[in-house]
Amino acid sequence: MKEVILIKNGEIVLKGLNRSSFEDVMIKNLRHALKPYGSATIKKAQSTIYIEPSDDQFDFDRALIRVSRVFGIAAFSRALECEKTMDAIIENGVPYLKEALENARTFKVEAKRADKRFPVKSPDIAAEMGGKLLEAYPHLKVDVKNPQIVVNVEIRDFGAYVHAGQIPGAGGMPTGTGGKAAILISGGIDSPVAAYMMAKRGIELTAIHFASPPYTSLRAEMKVKELLGKVAGYCGSIKLAIVPFTEIQEEISKNCPEEYFTLIMRRFMMKISDKLARNNNCHALITGESVGQVASQTIYALAVTDNVCTMPVFRPCIGMDKEEIVQISRKIDTFDISVQPYEDCCTVFTPKHPRTRPTIEAVQEAESPLDFDQLIDRAISGVTYEWIN
């Protein structure tokens, strides 16, 4: 018995002449993603990608979970491959479907004959297969309108495939097809979600984290790495830049009015990220901000922080409620990590009454005692890089 994974592409199919280059990126991503689970051949034909294990050492169950997290896949199925004869399909297909059908009450069979050289027409394939399945599993009833299980028989170029339905994929676009962007990640709930959402659109991520020891703990950094690891589970390896931020925070605290503290800090973060992003061939910044969530996320505050950037800033969570963000964070398994109680930016530096309607002029005035360029250069020269897998 030979099992394969059949993959149906998502939005890629809407592409025109460059569709094949999108597919190639996805195959490359799949190849990389499945490497740990054993050796397999990956090929494309008729807008489907086939994953065929080379031997029985291939860890099929875990590979399927991994496939469910590869962006660009609309749906996939675990299928039996057999010879293109009705006898072979029935002889192998009927016992193969045992697990799926045993616990179901209703089913139907759908047949697709992509290879028109196959002598039996689709409705006849379905009827014959359905009959044999009813014989083998007498507890079943056919329900063409609302079946619990849809048995698929697909006659394709390489062979005939039998499976018990499609599993929804991660959707989105293949990682790397959308260019590169840098995510500012803190360790909270929002930024990993923002990272995931943009990665889903095919963007390759570089991450930037600001560390302020001793005001922040090494555990906060470990937490960020763990969060990125979850996102990397979808989009592959992420390069993480850790920026030493203590000096800047202390300088702001010493020299600037308290109510502007967070804003000035955010401006530093954006400016540093803008530079780092450029150094790393990124073409946009990503943040987890959502309008009105905290004082530094009013539209006035966002305007003030954007003012220092030279590249576009993507904020995929901008119009989402906290609960909606939490839902995604639970889906991608980052929520439980995010809520661990290590402070990412110590409250020592948060003002009691922050400005919610700042103007650019006022902020510039407030930060004027600081030597922006020098502080930024020093921070950037202290950046350390690490790959997160």
Partner 1 sequence: MIHYLDNTATTPLCQEAIFRMTEYMKSDFGNPSSLHLLGINASVKLEKCRGEIADKLGCDKNEIYFTSCGSESNNTAIFGAVKAKRRDGNRIVTTATEHHSVLNCMEQLEKDGFEVIYLTPDEKGKISEEKIFSAVTKETILVSIMAVNNETGAVNPVECIKRAVKNAGSQALIHIDGVQAFGKTDLSPLKNGADLITVSAHKIHGPKGIGALYIKKGVRILPLILGGGQEKGLRSGTESTLLIEGFAGAASALPNQKKAAEQVAELNRYLREKLSEIDGVTVNSPDDGLPYILNFSCEGIRSETMLHHLERSGVFVSSGSACAKGEKSHVLRSMGLSDKRIDSAIRVSFSRFSTKDDIDALVSGIKDGFNKLTRSKR
Rounded least distance, CB 356 to partner 1, Å: 18
* CB 51, CB 45: distance < 8 Å: no
- H/E stretch holding 223 reads helix 218-235
Nearer to partner 1, 116 or 353 (CB): 353
Nearer to partner 1, 64 or 346 (CB): 346
Nearer to partner 1, 6 or 248 (CB): 248
Rounded least distance, CB 364 to partner 1, Å: 23
Structure-token pair, residue 298: 């009013």
Tokens 């499609």 sit at which residue?
166
Rounded least distance, CB 250 to partner 1, Å: 5
Nearer to partner 1, 137 or 349 (CB): 349
Nearer to partner 1, 83 or 247 (CB): 247
Nearer to partner 1, 43 or 219 (CB): 219
Angle (CA) 313-319-323 rounded to 5° is: 120
Nearer to partner 1, 200 or 223 (CB): 223
Rounded least distance, CB 268 to partner 1, Å: 15
Nearer to partner 1, 41 or 340 (CB): 340
Query: What single string gives the DSSP state of each residue in 278-294?
Result: HHTT---EE----TTSS
Distances (CA, A) of 79 to 58, 259, 372: 15, 61, 59
Rounded least distance, CB 379 to partner 1, Å: 17
Rounded least distance, CB 253 to partner 1, Å: 5
Rounded least distance, CB 347 to partner 1, Å: 7
Rounded least distance, CB 274 to partner 1, Å: 26
Rounded least distance, CB 304 to partner 1, Å: 22
Nearer to partner 1, 175 or 216 (CB): 216
Nearer to partner 1, 143 or 247 (CB): 247
User: What is the binding site for partner 1 (CB under 8 A)?
Assistant: 213-218, 249-250, 253-254, 258, 341-343, 346-349, 351-352
Rounded least distance, CB 354 to partner 1, Å: 12
- H/E stretch holding 59 reads none
Greatest alpha-carbon pair distance for the chain in Å reads 85
SS3 132: helix
> What span, in angstroms and rounded, lies between the C-alpha atoms of 43 and 52?
8
Tokens 């790495």 sit at which residue?
225
